[in-house]
Structure 1
């Protein structure tokens, strides 16, 4: 019998998708002509407020997988389903992206080789790296599952908690030696493996493992997780606010010291110890926010966020293309508006367009292969039968997204 749905996850997925789109809107305007250091400061605040998206998507993946674990795993069926729901839509939108960018000509053999390469690396667009990284968690799920369930069966809850905390500390430490690991692995010159720790280190699932493990813990002990979150709320928020301020100061110093007034946010990269601490606290805070939304935000907001979460995978895959629509509007109507207005307009237009197009595509007979979900009928059927709706890909993209 399927378990009860987790309402916080549905809202959280919608919030994370909106955060991803806002991040990429900020990235575009940070390099636009005429932006000042003061504009950069505002962008830094928005960027910090949306940094939770990637770790939250990974957290959702781990939570959903372990919450729904039925005690047995048929790996072939498991991977086949994820391949169809996640990888196939990614492959389709990779091709579409290349066609839009005039980087694929079907009559050229070299272009087919390039297509095969980006299907493996996610290099065709700046947001596809995430899907390649996330899919590794599905491929390696039997190993994660064996280790995590083994700990659950072998140790009492206090020891399990100690192991989780130790894993978190190890993860924070790991993010501090990524460059050293890359240099060592690069010196070994092992095909594929050395590349995974050098050229493609940003999409190496090892460097994001704790977010998945934290989600697994939340999924296995969902009721205890919610109770603990309520008790620890003051501490969680204090850590979050402190780290938010600390990271923001770093971003401000970077902007003010930049040469030629160029706005960059290298200090806010995902893979560094201080950011890891901030992102872990962000997961806890955003889960708490999602719970608040469930209880107090009203039916309209909850329905919208849930719907955005359901269609978020397809919307994620195409949102950099729909951002181009927002740029047309910006150049036509908003070019003289304040940067904050332009960023928010771009964000809303792109998110709405991606969400709307995904809903339309999902209704097609082959919509699942385009956006990872078969449309509202299947979803409503699951609701009537009490079934658990799975994340679409979770780009999360299923997972998360």
Structure 2
């Protein structure tokens, strides 16, 4: 498989291993990022559509098993967004000079302001559905403030709180990574690449240990310690440290983009077999430990087996994206469109799913939960992306979808079709 060639891509002699660790003087547009965003958005949307059906009392076992396997297949969504955050942050800020407060203000406008707006929207929607009104006005400050720190009405918005921690702490990450880069630059090319591989392996092992502790020790610690520490451990999915490996993997990709692409392409078949084996293994755990209903906890982000599965799936997905962008055609155009508006779609998809569920929940769907989930997914994904596109046309749209609309307009004016990528 050869690398795709596009206008603006790097050309000339083959890049050496040592040079690959450094960003190009003239930055290449990372076209595959938009496609990865699209796949991640679709995966997250499918997860939530599956969760809408898999625990219903009238579901039959064949439907439950198939939905569980689909759910397991989509776990790459959130880690992929974290990976893209690291990739773009390091790729776009590799000079070592960062105007911190302007940088944070930009992220507040582009990321946190839409989070605030959608938090209010979901809060109002749940209040109206639960009580038929906005509840007791005296409780508004307390309940709304709770949603800003522990979003449950917009159950997917926890991701914004988590990813924003990387933006706030990015100078510290950049300082550490740049120190390592300077050390690597002093090494011969081959030794440099081997050192990067060793560093990634060590970080992966440490992260695997953290995932093991998260799965098999921290629940017991929370029950034993109680009080404040129980709350801290119970909400560990909100903390950036529990996703740091994907973020730093994005940094590796950012500083060695061409080498990363070759690595993915050369190992594509091996990564694919590894993913299939891990996917079967985790599916066996699903069936082995699920009784009356499927236990989706066995596909949790913070489990060591799921972590290894996601890493191989991410590598396979990156390889697939390289093929899709090389082949072009309708599939590439559709995925680019979805990727362009995926941030707004991500924020809105739970709201669209809420509207669809108000119709499907009263229905008796015994024997049809699998096709119902598939149709719900198609309607939710299409509806949320269409809503994001519509909002991008409105003067106040940036309050709800950030800078997506403005960036899409700029992209249409450029020859290269790469769009704005979330998270940045």
Q: Same fold (TM over 0.5)?
A: yes
Q: Residue 324 of structure 1 is aligned with which of 354, 357, 360?
A: 354
Supply the distance in 2 between the matched residues of 1:335 and 1:190 (Cα, whole angstroms): 42
1:62, distance to aligned residue in structure 2 (A):
0.7
1:383, distance to aligned residue in structure 2 (A):
5.1
Aligned to 1:228: 263
Supply the distance in 1 between the matched residues of 2:45 and 2:26 (Cα, whole angstroms): 33
1:390, distance to aligned residue in structure 2 (A):
3.4
1:315, distance to aligned residue in structure 2 (A):
1.1
Q: Which moves more between the two structures, 366-375 or 348-357? A: 366-375
Q: Residue 344 of structure 1 is aligned with which of 374, 398, 404?
A: 374
Aligned to 1:121: 150
Aligned to 2:283: 248
Aligned to 2:297: 266
Asked if 1:279 corresponds to 2:310, the answer is yes
Check 1:189–1:140 CA distance in 2 against 1; reply closer, same or farther (3 A cut): farther
Q: Which moves more between the two structures, 123-132 or 335-344? A: 335-344
1:354, distance to aligned residue in structure 2 (A):
0.5
Aligned residue runs from structure 1 range 110-259, under 5 A: 110-155=139-184, 156=187, 157=192, 158-178=194-214, 180=217, 194=229, 197-255=232-290, 258=291
Match of 2:334, SS state, is helix
Q: Residue 307 of structure 1 is aligned with which of 330, 337, 352?
A: 337
Supply the distance in 2 between the matched residues of 1:21 and 1:176 (Cα, whole angstroms): 27
1:181, distance to aligned residue in structure 2 (A):
5.1
Supply the distance in 2 between the matched residues of 1:43 and 1:102 (Cα, whole angstroms): 30
Supply the distance in 2 between the matched residues of 1:196 and 1:212 (Cα, whole angstroms): 25
Any idea what the Cα deviations from partners look like across 1:277-312, whole Å, max 9, x if unmatched? 11111111111121121123x422111111111111
Any idea what the Cα deviations from partners look like across 1:176-226, whole Å, max 9, x if unmatched? 1125457668988897xx477413111111111000010110011100100
Number of aligned positions between the proteins = 386
Check 1:2–1:382 CA distance in 2 against 1; reply closer, same or farther (3 A cut): farther
Supply the distance in 2 between the matched residues of 1:168 and 1:278 (Cα, whole angstroms): 13
Asked if 1:73 corresponds to 2:98, the answer is yes
1:347, distance to aligned residue in structure 2 (A):
0.1
Q: Which moves more between the two structures, 220-229 or 157-166? A: 157-166
CA contact (8 A) 2:388 2:401 kept: yes
Supply the distance in 1 between the matched residues of 2:298 and 2:363 (Cα, whole angstroms): 33
Q: Residue 10 of structure 1 is aligned with which of 34, 47, 60?
A: 34
Runs of 5+ unmatched residues, structure 2:
1-24
Aligned to 2:395: 365
Asked if 1:96 corresponds to 2:114, the answer is no
Supply the distance in 1 between the matched residues of 2:68 and 2:219 (Cα, whole angstroms): 28
Runs of 5+ unmatched residues, structure 1:
393-397
Looking at CA atoms only, which structure, 1 or 2, has the larger radius of gyration?
2
Aligned to 1:395: none
Q: Which moves more between the two structures, 25-34 or 176-185? A: 176-185
CA contact (8 A) 2:60 2:366 kept: no
Q: Which moves more between the two structures, 1-10 or 112-121? A: 1-10
Check 1:310–1:2 CA distance in 2 against 1; reply closer, same or farther (3 A cut): farther
Supply the distance in 1 between the matched residues of 2:335 and 2:386 (Cα, whole angstroms): 13
CA contact (8 A) 1:20 1:50 kept: yes
Supply the distance in 1 between the matched residues of 2:297 and 2:393 (Cα, whole angstroms): 41
CA contact (8 A) 1:59 1:215 kept: yes
The root-mean-square deviation of aligned C-alpha atoms, in Å, is 2.6
Supply the distance in 2 between the matched residues of 1:186 and 1:251 (Cα, whole angstroms): 25
